[in-house]
Amino acid sequence: MKDLRIALVQMQAVIGDVEGNLQKLAFFTEKAAREKAEIICFPELCVQGYHRERAATRAEPIPGRSTDFVSRLARAFNVLILFGLAELSPGPKPYITQVLAFPDGKVEKYRKTHLGKSELPYFSPGDRLPVFATEKACLGVEICWDLHFPEVTTILALKGAEIIFAPHASPSIVGNRRDIWLKYLSARAYDNSLFVAATNLVGSCGEGQEFCGGALVLDPKGNVVAEDFGGRESILVADLDAALLNTIRGNKSPSMRHSFYLQFRRPELYGELLHLPAKINPG
């Protein structure tokens, strides 16, 4: 990995106001480019707004109008843009997709693989865990609830991911976003020796639901690099220093202080993961 400057956007996405939401993407992309960010990440479903019941009526194909719009922004400002979209699927339920628009015109995507109970009736889960190579780093994407499943981050790290971008649509009712994220995002970063960069929708979606916002960057030891929990639309710019990650991943430390734990796995012991059900206490 090489040193890299990234930007995370907390954004209010009004349901159904695709044009207005895209204009916000354009505004923040230009601002990130002025601050010399090389990658900018927007929240989950920031194009159409997060609305489970109406998702299918707002979904778009990829490529499509919104993707083409953001792809032009990426080329114009020479920045990689990650943004959330409800994507049409072959069935009746759309995907929750994070699109990656590269400066060279290439478009890639990640479809949310782990859906919450309230999302299952309205969305289709993805079935791939891709990583995406850039000139400076290898990226993975996990969307909101995905981050609660440690195996996902480990698989991405084993495939070479050095940064996980984590777009969210977490409502205020869930609780203090900073406290919650520091419980498990720090563990994902520390155990897998990678950066985690998370951002969330903020404010009202236009139909009564409030999102608590939050932007957070963690280093490969789980330490906070940068944060913004001001509860308003904003852009957080952070510089990722590659030295620590390269020391860990390159096995360059003479002590165990900077161990790359994934090098010492024993996969022959983990087969039960494929078969053991979660034990639920009826209480």
From 31-35, 43-47, 276-280, the region with the lowest mean pLDDT: 276-280
For 91, residues 6+ apart whose C-beta sits below 8 A from its C-beta are: 124
Average pLDDT, the chain: 94
Q: What percent of the chain has pLDDT over 90?
A: 85
Mean pLDDT of 6-30: 96
Q: Which residues pair with 188 in a beta bridge?
A: none
Tokens of 70: 């953001």
So what's the pLDDT on residue 36? 98
Instruction: Return the residue matching tokens 């998702």.
Output: 55
Mean pLDDT of 220-226: 97
Does residue 167 surpass a pLDDT of 90? yes
Q: Pairing mode, if any, of strands 39-41 and 80-87? A: parallel
E strands within the chain?
Answer: 4-10, 39-41, 80-87, 95-101, 107-111, 131-133, 138-141, 163-168, 195-200, 202-204, 210-212, 215-218, 224-228, 234-240
Does residue 253 surpass a pLDDT of 70? no
Does residue 155 surpass a pLDDT of 80? yes
Mean pLDDT of 65-81: 98
- CATH class for the domain made up of 4-274: alpha beta
The DSSP 8-state label assigned to residue 271 in this structure reads G
Mean pLDDT of 218-247: 97
- Which tens digit of pLDDT belongs to each residue from 172-203? 888 899 999 999 999 999 999 999 999 999 99
Does residue 46 surpass a pLDDT of 90? yes
For 54, residues 6+ apart whose C-beta sits below 8 A from its C-beta are: 15, 16
Higher pLDDT, 281 or 95: 95
Rounded distance between C-alpha atoms, residue 130 and residue 110, angstroms? 7
Burial class (CB in 10 A: 0-12, 13-18, 19+), 78: exposed
Mean pLDDT of 26-36: 98
What band does 283 get if pLDDT is binned at 50, 70 and 90? low
Domain boundaries, the chain: 4-274
What band does 165 get if pLDDT is binned at 50, 70 and 90? very high
What band does 254 get if pLDDT is binned at 50, 70 and 90? confident
Does residue 207 surpass a pLDDT of 80? no
So what's the pLDDT on residue 258? 85
DSSP H/E element including 166: strand 163-168
Q: What's the distance, CA 113 to chain centroid? A: 12
Higher pLDDT, 281 or 117: 117
So what's the pLDDT on residue 205? 78
Mean pLDDT of 122-144: 97
Number of other CB atoms surrounding residue 91 within 10 Å: 9
Give the 3-state secondary structure of residue 92.
coil
